[in-house]
Structure 1
Amino acid sequence: MTQRTIAVETQDHLCRITLDRPERLNSFTADMHAELAAALERAEADDDVRAVLLTGAGRGFCAGQDLSERRAAPDGEAVDLGASIDRHYAPLIARLTTMPKPVVCAVNGVAAGAGVSIALACDIVVAARSARFVLSFARLGLVPDSGGTWILPRLVGQARALALALTGDPVTAEDAQRWGLIWQTVDDADLPGVAGALAARLATGPTLGHAATKRLIRDTWSWSLPEALVLERDAMRALGRSADYREGVSAFIDKRAPRYTGR
């Protein structure tokens, strides 16, 4: 029987997914990709789930690809790394970035290689103070994949993106926050509580509004300002007909906490 590689818990509209290969720093195998893809697909399809929290078990978030599955053959035959991108990593990044629900990532330790890209594909990243972000591709003669070359310069600028990618030097959680790579750094002991509370708050928020906000902000790179104004208008028109908008206005007028349903 194949050993489970992730843990999933769904409660109070929040799906918590934990990468669970701590003995290998939660590095990805084909089995882990399949399990995570299935879990995210279920979370996206389940109307009761309104936010996702992704983290890792043990002392690291994710060390990227498990290289024991990517060794070159003894006879020197090349490994097709592009096939792995097409089959596993590209669909994972696409699902995280387009899921119509907020995704929070709690980086509990080292994030290396594709583990960095996976964390940055989530909507809000909270990291433990001891966390490190390492673009280890250069040490293997590779390029930052899983969207790494796209997102890095957009978050930290070309100069830092090139230095991080070419040297593979680790970035502390504090520097990652200061440079705009992540949202927040907290003490290690506080990470589960802070990230959990943030994800829980999003899980009880106006889900349709969150989804539209996520889509608009993520797609804005390819738009002009006039195009953005039109798309914002269309989103506001649709959201103005939602039950969550009516509830939000009523709660504001009544001076009470809103009770959103995600509809």
Structure 2
Amino acid sequence: MNIDLSGRKAIVTGSTSGIGLAIAKGLAGAGADVVVNGRRQDVTDDVVAQLSALYPDVTIEGIAADLARKEDVDRFTQLAPTADILVNNLGIWGEADFFDLSDEEWLRFFETNVMSGIRLARHYMPGMLERNSGRLIFISSESGVTTRGERLHYSVTKTAILAVARGLAERARGTAVTSNSIVVGTTLTEQIAGMIEQMAEAQNVSFDDAQRMVIKEHRPTHLLPLLATTNEVANMVVYVASPQASATTGAALRVDGGGITTIL
């Protein structure tokens, strides 16, 4: 399968590291022009330079903005008024006891994980519908399917993302615009990989053996022997963004190593 996204413009939020950066690389590698986003200007500029060197045949832009804030979303959409592919990857994670969570913390998670994607979709989707072409992709989590009590606020936002993605697919009924969510399990981001490297060194085992120990202790339902890489998540996103995925919409597609035990 040869995926060619030449001539398409993709926006990837929260894309200066981790899964978001891998997605930006994957889309650029498939020929799309990409707008990357981070909160800090210097970090965003560094990523633009990195991707521009790797993919000189596409246009890489960077917009530093905190997309949890409506005013920053408004500024972002003025600087990047149109998109063919919108990947709502921005998200924050945390654990806390339910009774310790303030209203402000609930709202912070909703503004970042849910409202950022809603506001951007509200801006970009009308143009997609007018052109009868476009891809909306929301990065969710296994925690949105299997709610975890110690991270209830996070889980609720990731469940909401699934509903938003499905609802927008319904809104696009009868058009060629698709809306899907990607349900991601524990992934080897820089942070997770660093933790596993420390564990491997402390236990005097290999990196892969340390992964297996983490899976056995913390992800016992995981079916594959190792955790997903950020590139493996990005591969799913690139496919969903492609013309080859034209019949896939309203779906929650998993990159979770089989850890979610339900069939649907």
TM over 0.5: no
Kindly name which structure, 1 or 2, has the bigger radius of gyration based on alpha carbons. Answer: 1
**TM superposition score category, shorter chain reference:** 0.3 to 0.5
The normalised TM-score by structure 1 is 0.32
Higher relative contact order (CA 8 A, sep 6+): 2
